């Protein structure tokens, strides 16, 4: 069995995530304390106690989700003696989850990842005035049809693009609000089962995010990046990357670029991966893996019990 570890993106956050880990595993509690220290605030309190509307704020959700993912990895490595480098052949993360993947693989420090994700969330929010951008999920159309829809939807310099290729028949579009709203009925005309606006605060992964990309480029220039202990499948290329300077460049491109998650999973399968382990909050990626290729297996690690069972299975 060849494994990849995957790391969830925004939308997987829930109040209480990571709390059981922190209460039962000192190694996990240390991760949350380190993130709190890096951000000079008690983000962990928002994670454990809410309110949900505060946790959902982009600049909180991004470092919070990363913290839970790294807590899982640290517990696995330090309490159960399962190093990531021996348990996984590749790592990959969905959008902000790519930072979690890089941190898990030793390319970024936990403190730097927390600071970068806080900035990333703030920069994305600043890039487009509230109400001017939107995102929508288009269900039941393949990518070629979605690309035709978004091309038809734009008018007078508007932006509308396929932002997340999540799975077969599950594509998220992003851009100028009017263009995204125009795209939904066009998608239905082409046979989409559903098109629904998403409750997001900004139009991520489209050209409107260019100001945020420039902020991230400046911050990443000042951030040390090491070669990861296992290759990272990059969002924007859906290919394995090891070179720190390439990773740095791709993290900038990722802000405006498409999240090629379906292609990433298929690439890992092509490279021999048959088992996907989702580390952190929720089971979104585990579900997407099965939707992309039903021959692949998926497993979610969120609690001490999950981690112990997984570690035991490796040693049996």
Lowest mean pLDDT among 122-131, 172-181, 238-247: 122-131
DSSP classification of residue 79: I
pLDDT digits (tens, 9 = 90+) for 95-107: 999 999 999 999 9
DSSP for 135-182? EEEEES--HHHHHHHHHHH--TT--EEEEEEEETTEEEEEEEHHHHHH
Instruction: Name every residue whose Cβ is closer than 8 Å to that of residue 96 and which is 6 or more positions away in sequence.
Output: 9, 10, 61, 62, 65, 66, 117, 120
Contact in structure between 103 and 154 (CB atoms under 8 Å): no
Query: For the chain, what percent of residues have pLDDT higher than 70?
Result: 100
pLDDT of residue 44 exceeding 80, the answer is yes
Query: Do 3-127+208-315 and 133-200 come out as alike in CATH topology?
Result: no
Indicate the CATH number for domain 3-127+208-315: 3.40.366.10
pLDDT digits (tens, 9 = 90+) for 194-226: 999 998 889 999 999 999 999 999 999 999 999
Residue in 201, 205, 264, 300 annotated catalytic = 205
**Edge-to-edge strand list for the sheet holding 170-176:** 160-167, 170-176, 133-139, 194-197
Global pTM?
Answer: 0.97
The whole-angstrom separation of Cα 89 and Cα 3 is 6
Q: Is 313 a residue of the active site? A: no
Better-predicted residue by pLDDT, 130 or 192: 192
Q: Which of 278, 272, 268, 273 is nearest to 298 (CA)?
A: 278
DSSP classification of residue 98: H
pLDDT confidence band for 316 (50 / 70 / 90): confident
Please compute Rg for the chain using Cα positions. Answer: 19
pLDDT of residue 1 exceeding 90, the answer is no
Domain limits, the chain: 3-127+208-315, 133-200
Residue in 44, 69, 95, 300 annotated catalytic = 95
Q: Is 40 a residue of the active site? A: no
**Superfamily of domain 133-200 in the CATH hierarchy:** Malonyl-CoA ACP transacylase, ACP-binding (3.30.70.250)
């Amino acid at each position: 069995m060849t494994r990849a570890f995957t790391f969830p993106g925004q939308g997987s956050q829930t109040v209480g995530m990571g709390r059981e880990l922190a209460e039962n595993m000192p190694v996990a509690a240390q991760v949350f304390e380190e993130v709190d220290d890096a951000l000079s605030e008690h983000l962990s309190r928002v994670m454990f106690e809410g309110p949900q509307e505060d946790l959902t704020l982009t600049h909180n959700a991004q470092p919070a989700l990363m913290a839970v993912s790294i807590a899982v990895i640290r517990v696995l490595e330090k309490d159960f003696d399962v190093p990531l480098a021996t348990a996984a052949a590749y790592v990959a993360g969905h959008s902000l989850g790519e930072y979690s993947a890089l941190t898990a693989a030793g390319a970024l420090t936990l403190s730097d990842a927390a600071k970068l994700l806080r900035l990333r969330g703030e920069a994305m929010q600043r890039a487009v005035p509230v109400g001017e951008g939107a995102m929508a999920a288009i269900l039941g159309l393949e990518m070629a049809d979605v690309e035709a829809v978004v091309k038809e939807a734009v008018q007078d310099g508007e932006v509308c693009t396929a932002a997340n290729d999540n799975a077969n028949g599950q594509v998220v579009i992003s851009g100028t609000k009017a263009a995204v709203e125009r795209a939904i009925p066009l998608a239905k005309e082409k046979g989409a089962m559903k098109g629904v606006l998403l409750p997001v605060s900004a139009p991520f992964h489209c050209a409107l995010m260019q100001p945020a990309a420039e902020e991230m480029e400046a911050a990443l220039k000042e951030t040390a990046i090491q070669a990861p202990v296992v290759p990272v499948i990059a969002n924007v290329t859906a290919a394995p990357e090891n070179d720190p300077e390439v990773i740095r460049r791709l993290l900038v491109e990722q802000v405006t670029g498409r999240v090629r998650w379906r292609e990433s999973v298929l690439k890992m399968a092509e490279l021999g991966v048959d088992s996907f382990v989702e580390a952190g909050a929720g089971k979104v990626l585990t579900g997407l893996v099965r939707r992309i290729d039903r021959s692949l297996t998926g497993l979610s690690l969120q609690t001490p019990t999950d981690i112990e069972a997984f570690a035991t299975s490796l040693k049996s």
